[in-house]
Chains A and B, each alone.
Chain A
Amino acid sequence: MAEVRPDEISAILRKQLSGFESEVDIYDVGTVLQVGDGIARVYGLSKVMASELVEFPNDVFGMVLNLEEDSVGCVLFGESKLVKEGDTVKRTKRVASIPVGKNMLGRVVNPLGIPVDGKGSITAEKYYPIERKALGVIQRQPVKEPLQTGITAIDGMIPIGRGQRELIIGDRQTGKTAVAIDTIINQKITHTEEAAKLGIKPVYCIYVAIGQKSSTIAQVVAKLHEHDAMSYTTVISASASESSPLQFVAPYAGASLGEFFRDNGKHALVIYDDLSKQAAAYRELSLLLRRPPGREAYPGDVFYLHSRLLERASKLSDDLGGGSLTALPIIETQQGDVSAYIPTNVISITDGQIYLESNLFNAGVRPAINVGISVSRVGGNAQIKAMKKVAGSLKLDLAQYRELEAFAKFGSDLDKSTQRTLSKGARLVELLKQGQFSPVPVERQVVSIYLGTNNYLDSIPVADVKRFEREIQEFIGVKYNQIYENIKKEKALSDETISEIKKASEEFLTVFKKSA
């Protein structure tokens, strides 16, 4: 163990003391009238602002939510056992805010910006208030750049643009978080020099974990570290053991941090995992504050709770630097019930949803995306031309396959064209399966989808499709690398590129060995 010398300690103390001046300190106070269940009613604090931070004894902080005629309703961010009736409450004169800046990257913090990863304090460039108003119409422009998730099914059929809000919805254990984490990992390529040469701007990521197990959050952080994704990511953690007010403010804190990047002309992606838990936390503290309950006991402003959060995702106009904040909220449904209160609310707010289904998941289709009811209302404009070209027929083929899927068991009794549709559909479904933590770059996605939709897989047994795809990608990467380079550079699929893909595939089909 390292030794600590007393003279060293006193030197440090002296250094600390040198900046310390004794002056009369002026502050506003109030008295706790009532405390319990994470709520305190305070008398006094006459000049306090709504959503201002207040300080209770024992380093417990609170936030003012209700301003009443002769008392103030506060939510406590810490243990309510540490606060007693009659305690003095101090104003901080600071609206609840979060430190923002590049120093936050690579860190795990709580919703008030206090690090919880044991890597020391964060020197913040600036503080942003947690609640900020969303931008207006003039400051925005339509979504036009793609945000590549690295998941072929999503980038092909449900494309997400920078500045979009795309809901990820599904039952428990359907891989919602996996989609989000893969998306974060895939942003690694936007931070490379190669991407900078191609004009792809880096995307900074914020993962907001609300009401999850601490062990799950630790796992996510470990995975991000493992894939070198933490260097451009901040994790905001409000685990299940945190008080409900902290869980309630966590997504707003994440949005504020993302807005810092957006406002500086950069691009940010923020994931709210998940908003059902946040709504439940908000319901808890609303009921404790005696606000009247409505449907499913949620307070009347639960729609506004989510709409004001998701409205902050935006693509700025070029005058304002053209930054963007993309939001991927996650909602957990119960037994596939999308018509419950919170899911319908969030579906109506977002620009589309990715619907994950447990029976698909159990059937081995992973990511378990139900392509039929998943949509993206604005992302199509953001797709690169090459992808748009190949993905158009992919959607159609899969739709036809789904229509006829029920007949698949009749096998050879069916007519030729139906059989062809079924066999093609089965191969496409197989093609779109993808492992976790293995994002695919867009040029490879384009080639895969091209092969699938142009019947190059017809002669391959379904079980071999994944292996065929992997091997042909390697083959092209080695022998016909200019295909990838062209797609990356031109972002479109020129006739020469198509003919090269054709040539390469035909060449590879002759050498590919089918498994027995």
Chain B
Amino acid sequence: MAETKVSARYAASLIDLALEKNALDALSKDMELVHSAILSSNDLNNVLQSPVIKTEKKKIILSEIFKNKISEDSLNFIRFVVDKNRENLLTSIIKKFLQMRDEKLGMVRVEVKTSFDFTDEQKEKLQQRLEKILNKKAQLKFIADSTIVGGFVAKVGDTVYDASVKHQLELLRKEFLHGSVQLN
């Protein structure tokens, strides 16, 4: 859709800027901060989405919030986006930017669901193992979820590495169901 195309274009320009200024780390940290700020405050999100509030006003509000917290470059980028009347896409631009940065650095984000909290040693082991399989640097995010009974589920993008007991039980159920038909 048009929106994703637009966000990708803005994100790409931000990446280029970051590489040019050699400030990819700083910029991405800023962007993460902005992202979490927008996500945490419903009011701020409403302001961004609202077409009634004037551009100037939005710029002042954003400057007020993020001044001294993020670099001048980041703030300029946000102002630029607002100037172009694309502030409603700001979150998707940032998401796309972070995604592009991960690609650039050969990094993947992995969401790991575990039935209980892993020890640091286990986490370390899992990370090493995943990095070896994926051939990329992995950034793990652990979530505890007791419904998977045991084991873990690692999600990399759209691909799932499922070693949970729940999934095994599900497979077993299917195996039995399939087998029972043959017995008739």
Contacts and interface: CB of A to CB of B under 8 A. Distances in A.
Contacts of B162: 24-27
A28 B160 contact: yes
Interface stretch (A44-52, A180-188, A293-301, A338-346): A44-52
A26 B4 CA distance: 28
Given A69-B1, A70-B1, A121-B181, A20 B158 contact: no
B175 A24 contact: no
Interface of A: 12-13, 16-17, 19-20, 22-30, 44-47, 68-70, 120-121
Instruction: Give the 5 A-B residue pairs with the shortest CB-CB distance, closest first.
Output: A24-B163, A121-B181, A25-B162, A16-B179, A44-B158
Nearest to A121: B181
Nearest to B183: A12
B160 A26 contact: yes
Contacts of A22: 168
Interface string B150-172: 00000101111111000110011
A26 B181 contact: no
Contacts of A20: 171-172, 175
A27 B159 contact: yes
B184 interface: yes
Interface of B: 1, 4-5, 155, 157-163, 167-168, 171-172, 175-176, 178-179, 181-184
A70 B4 contact: yes
17 contacts: A12-B179, A24-B163, A25-B163, A25-B171, A26-B160, A26-B161, A26-B162, A27-B159, A27-B160, A27-B162, A29-B155, A29-B158, A29-B159, A44-B158, A68-B1, A69-B1, A69-B4
Nearest to A119: B184
B176 A16 contact: yes
A44 B160 CA distance: 12
Contacts of B159: 26-29
A98 to B, nearest CB: 18
A120 B161 contact: no
A88 to B, nearest CB: 9
Contacts of B160: 26-29
Given A16-B179, A22-B168, 15 more contacts: A16-B175, A16-B176, A24-B162, A25-B163, A25-B171, A26-B159, A26-B161, A28-B159, A28-B160, A29-B159, A46-B158, A47-B158, A70-B1, A120-B182, A121-B181
A329 B175 CA distance: 39
A27 B162 CA distance: 8
Contacts of A44: 158
Contacts of B176: 13, 16
Contacts of B171: 20, 25
B58 to A, nearest CB: 26
A44 B175 CA distance: 28
Nearest to B155: A29
Nearest to A19: B175
Nearest to B179: A16
A16 B159 CA distance: 29
Contacts of B183: 12
B184 A30 contact: no
B99 to A, nearest CB: 12
B4 to A, nearest CB: 5
Given A16-B175, A30-B158, A69-B1, A120 B184 contact: yes
Nearest to A68: B1
> In this complex, which of B159, B183, B184 has the most chain A Cβ atoms within 10 angstroms of its Cβ?
B159
Contacts of A12: 179, 183
B129 to A, nearest CB: 10
A13 B183 CA distance: 11
Nearest to A12: B183
Contacts of B163: 23-25
B104 to A, nearest CB: 18
A69 to B, nearest CB: 6
A5 B151 CA distance: 35
A334 B159 CA distance: 51
A69 B96 CA distance: 14
Contacts of B175: 16, 19-20
B157 to A, nearest CB: 7
Contacts of B155: 29
A28 B168 CA distance: 17
Contacts of A45: 158
A23 B159 CA distance: 16
A13 B158 CA distance: 34
A44 B179 CA distance: 32
B158 A28 contact: yes
Nearest to B165: A22
A46 B182 contact: no
Contacts of B158: 28-30, 44-47
B63 to A, nearest CB: 32
A120 B181 contact: yes
A422 B158 CA distance: 76
A16 B172 CA distance: 9
A44 B184 CA distance: 39
Contacts of B157: 46
Contacts of A29: 155, 158-160
